Structure 1
Amino acid sequence: MSLKNLWHHRKVADGAAKACWVCYKPSTSVLITPDNKDFFYICVGHLSDRGFCQPDADEVAAAAARKKKEELDLEIEKVKREYEEKQRIKREKRKEKVEDEEKAKDKDAKKTDEENKTDEKAKDDKINELSKSKDQAQVNLGPRIFTLSKYS
C-alpha cells in the first residue's frame, strides 16, 4: 500500500521541536498524511521551496481570499476609528461651549484633559494589541496542504 502524495502542515509546541528532515535544524512544523500514518519535521523555509513541495491550488486561493478579507477588515476598522475620533471631537467642542457658558471652565478643563489622555492611551494600547494579534494570525495564513515534488 502506497501513501498518497498529500501532506498537511501542522505546528507543534516549541518544546516538542525536532530536527528538520532536510537541514537538521530544530523545527516546530510537521508535514503529516491525512490519515496520520506518516509524518516528518520540516522547516518553514523548505515549505516555500518549489523544488521541495508545492501548496495545493485550492489552498492558495483560499489563503489569498482570507488575506484580502483581512485587509478589508483592517480598512473598515481604520475608517471606524477615524469616524469615532471625529465624533468625539465634535462632542468635546459642544461640551466646551456649554462649559464656557457656565464659567466653570478651569475645573472641568483639567478633568477632561486628564480623562482624554487616559482614554487616548487606552485606545492606543488596544490598537497595538489588535495589530500584534493580526500579525500573529497572518503568520499562520500560509497554505496548509502540500504535495511533495518528485525528483528524477
Structure 2
Amino acid sequence: MSFPNVWHHRKVAETAAKACEICHRPSSSVLITPDNKDWFYACPMHLKDTKFCTPIIDHEAIAARKKREEDEEIARLKKEYEEKQRKKKEKEAEKDKGKDGKKEKDEKDEKKDESKPGETGKRKEAGAPPKDEEPKVFALQKTFYQQRLNKKRQAEMAKKMRERIKEPDFFPAVPKGDL
C-alpha cells in the first residue's frame, strides 16, 4: 500500500479551498501523488518550510530552459546587430551621394536609432515576468510521510472492516439447543 514520497503541487479554485492538513486554515494548494492515490491540502507557507517538505529540483529542465532563453537572447542580439549594420550601410550610401542637408538629419536619426535598441531591451526585461517560479514537486519529511502512510493504511483497514461486517457469517451465530 506504499506509494513514493513524491508530491506534485496543484492549485484549486479559491471557492474549493479546504482546511490545511497541518494548521486547519483554508487553503487552495493541494499536494498530490503522481498516481493520484493520495492527496491533501497544505498551505503555501508550509510548502516553504523545510521541516515539512523539501522541493525536488529537476536540474535538466532548468538547464534546458536556461539554454532556450540564451538562444532567444542570441537571436535577438543578432537581429539588432544586422539591423544596425543595414542602417549604417544605407547612411553611407546617402553620404556618398553628397547630400549635405540630409547629412545633419541623418546624424540626428542615427543618434535616435542607437538609443532605441537599448530602450526596447529594457522594456522587454521590465515587462517580462520574474523567472523565479515556485517549485512544483516536493518530498515530505520522514515523519509527515509516515503519517500519510499510516492514515492511508487505517482508511483501508476501516474499509475492509466495513465490508467484513456486511458478510452474514461475520458475527457469531446464536446458540441452538437447550441449556
Q: What is the TM-score when the length of structure 1 is the normalising length?
A: 0.61
Query: Which stretches in structure 2 are left out of the alignment for 5+ residues?
Result: 147-179
Q: Offset of 1:98 from its aligned partner?
A: 1.2
* Counterpart mapping for 1:2-151 below 5 A: 4=3, 6=5, 7-14=7-14, 16-24=16-24, 27-34=27-34, 36=36, 38-54=38-54, 60=57, 63-102=58-97, 103=99, 104-107=102-105, 121-122=119-120, 124-129=122-127, 131-132=128-129, 135=131, 138-140=132-134, 142-144=135-137, 146-147=139-140, 149-150=142-143
Q: Deviations over 1:105-151 (max 9, x none)?
A: 3455556666776666455434444x41x62xx415x2425455236
Secondary structure at the aligned position of 1:22 is classed as coil
Unaligned runs of 5+ in 1: none
Check whether the contact 1:9–1:146 (CA below 8 A) recurs between aligned residues.
no
C-alpha distance in 1 between matches for 2:107 and 2:16? 57
In structure 2, C-alpha distance between the alignment counterparts of 1:33 and 1:70, rounded to whole Å: 25
CA pair 117-12 structure 1, distance change in 2 beyond 3 A: farther
Task: Tell me the secondary structure at the aligned position of residue 72 of structure 2.
Answer: helix
Q: Structure 1's 95 and 16: CA in aligned 2 closer, same or farther, altered over 3 A? A: farther
- Higher-RCO chain (CA-CA 8 Å, sequence separation at least 6): 1
| Rg comparison, structure with higher value | 2
Distance change >3 Å, CA 28–CA 105, structure 1 → 2? farther
Q: Give TM-score, length-normalised by structure 2.
A: 0.54
Identity percentage of aligned residues: 33
1:15 and 1:125, CA in 2 relative to 1: closer, same or farther beyond 3 A?
A: farther
Paired residues of 1:54 and 1:149 also in contact (CA < 8 A): no
The residue matched to 2:93 in structure 1 has which SS? helix
Root-mean-square deviation (CA), in Å? 3.7
